[in-house]
């Protein structure tokens, strides 16, 4: 069996497990390793000090699995129809779509581990592998672009011409020799809608994000007070932000994801601000347990809800 045949088997198994996208990248240095180091040195990462750790593994995944020869990159569509805001005059915030359902880390981990076991059954139990989902110190979007499942758009997100950008990424590092896929061309063209729509001006130039101004960073990663000017530009977002995705032409009519664990409700998308502001530790744990929303701590949720309430003004 040659490398190309192995690649076809890998992709077939990934589809059987429910992944919407699958591509193969060579295990080695990412193309934009020098840019990543420069970006970190410029302070664009804000207070995310953890990004400065394990830089070597972010540049080259073989720091995690020295024997790795291939990176299997998988994408899982999480797009859902946007629900209407629940009726009534109570003030509600907004939550980014990726965090509506169950914790995607667990969903992706389960699928990747199932894929790894399927590969061992097909190619032998001696295969070495390591699964990575978001929290691992690698640069997933760079790997996605290298694996040909999309390109990096001007908003720095991975884009796929068929399903847009509403998809999670996960990777299997493996010593299995698999034929790599060619990168996709950049289809953004002259479009700058994502850059112009950002409420906080988080894009100093195309293909570069100043994370310290991004609403997702401010609501999820940044602890402590938020600058008053930025707070006023955060609108009613309390966890994450979808603005740069919502305006992207490739997200005009994306397909709906089929994974039931990721489905959310109108209350997930538009939580009541008064409820959040009154949460105690127990209420917070119940609301965020086994969900990506637990990434933001209780004090951050309360802070975000207070900002959103101020931006919305008095209740009807």
pLDDT by residue, tens only, the chain of 316 residues:
799 999 999 999 999 999 999 999 999 876 765 655 665 566 655 665 555 555 555 668 888 889 999 999 999 999 999 999 998 889 999 999 999 999 999 999 999 999 999 999 999 889 999 999 876 666 888 899 999 999 999 999 999 999 999 999 999 999 999 999 999 999 999 999 999 999 999 999 999 989 889 999 999 999 999 999 999 999 999 999 999 999 999 999 999 999 999 999 999 999 999 999 999 999 999 999 999 999 999 999 999 999 999 999 987 6
Q: Give pLDDT, residue 28.
A: 84
Confidence (pLDDT) at 295: 93
Q: Check if 84 is active-site.
A: no
pLDDT at 46: 61
Q: What is the largest CA-CA distance in the chain?
A: 67
Please provide the DSSP assignment of the chain as one string: --HHHHHHHHHHHHHHTT-SEEEEEESSB-TTHHHHHHHHHTTTTTT-GGGGTTHHHHHBGGGT-TT--EEEEEEEE---PPPPPPSSS--B-EE-GGGSSS-HHHHHHHHHHHHHHHHHHHH-TT--EEEE-SSSSS-HHHHHHHTTS-EE-TTS-EEBTTTBT-EEEEEEEESS--PPPPPPPP--TT--HHHHH-TT---SBTTB--GGG-HHIIIII--S---HHHHHHSTTEEE---HHHHT-GGGSSPPPP--GGG---HHHHS-BHHHHHT--HHHHHHHHTTSGGGGS-HHHHHHHHHHHHHHH-S--
Give the whole-angstrom CA distance, residue 63 versus residue 305: 40
Catalytic residue among 134, 236, 267, 268: 134
Pairing of strands 94-95, 21-26: unpaired
Q: Which of 192, 150, 175 is nearest to 66 (CA)?
A: 175
- Predicted pLDDT of residue 53: 55
- What was the pLDDT predicted at 69? 94
**Six token digits for residue 141:** 């979007």
Radius of gyration of the chain (CA): 20
- Rounded CA-CA distance 2/110 in Å is 28
Distance, CA of 83 to CA of 90 (rounded, Å): 17
Give one word for 223, left, alpha or beta, with left for phi > 0 and alpha for psi -120 to 50. Answer: beta
What does the alpha-carbon distance between residue 253 and residue 250 come to, in Å, rounded to a whole number? 7
Q: How far is CA 163 from the centre of its chain?
A: 15
Q: Is the entire prediction scored with pTM above 0.85?
A: yes
Closest-CA residue to 57 (of 128, 137, 175): 137
Q: How far apart are CA 76 and CA 73, in angstroms?
A: 10
- pLDDT value at residue 229: 95
Burial class (CB in 10 A: 0-12, 13-18, 19+), 7: buried
């Amino acid at each position: 069996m040659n490398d190309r045949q192995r690649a076809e088997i890998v992709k077939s198994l990934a589809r059987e497990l429910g992944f919407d996208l699958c591509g193969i990248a060579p295990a080695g240095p990412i193309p934009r390793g020098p840019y990543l180091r420069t970006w970190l040195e410029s302070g664009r990462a804000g207070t995310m000090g953890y990004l400065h750790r394990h830089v070597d593994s972010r540049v080259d995944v073989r720091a995690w699995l020295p024997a790795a020869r291939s990176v299997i990159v998988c994408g899982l569509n999480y797009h859902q129809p946007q629900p209407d805001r629940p009726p009534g005059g109570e003030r509600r915030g907004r939550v980014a779509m990726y965090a509506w359902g169950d914790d995607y880390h667990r969903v992706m981990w389960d699928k990747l581990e199932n894929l790894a076991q399927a590969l061992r059954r097909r190619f032998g139990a001696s295969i070495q592998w390591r699964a990575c989902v978001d929290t691992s110190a690698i640069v997933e979007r760079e790997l996605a672009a290298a694996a040909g499942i999309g390109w990096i758009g001007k908003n720095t997100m991975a884009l796929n011409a068929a399903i847009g950008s509403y998809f999670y990424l996960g990777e299997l590092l493996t010593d299995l020799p698999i034929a790599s896929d060619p990168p996709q061309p950049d289809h953004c063209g002259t479009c700058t809608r994502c850059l112009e729509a950002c409420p906080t001006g988080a894009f100093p130039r195309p293909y570069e994000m100043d994370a310290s101004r991004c609403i997702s960073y401010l609501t999820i990663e940044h602890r402590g007070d938020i600058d008053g000017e930025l707070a006023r530009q955060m609108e009613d977002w309390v966890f994450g932000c979808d603005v740069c995705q919502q305006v992207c032409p490739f997200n005009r009519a994306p397909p709906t994801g089929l994974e039931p664990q990721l489905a959310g409700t109108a209350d997930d998308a538009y939580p009541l601000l008064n409820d959040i502001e009154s949460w105690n530790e127990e209420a917070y744990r119940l609301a965020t347990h086994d969900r990506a929303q637990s990434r933001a701590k209780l004090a951050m949720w309360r802070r975000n809800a207070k900002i959103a309430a101020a931006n919305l003004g008095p209740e009807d």
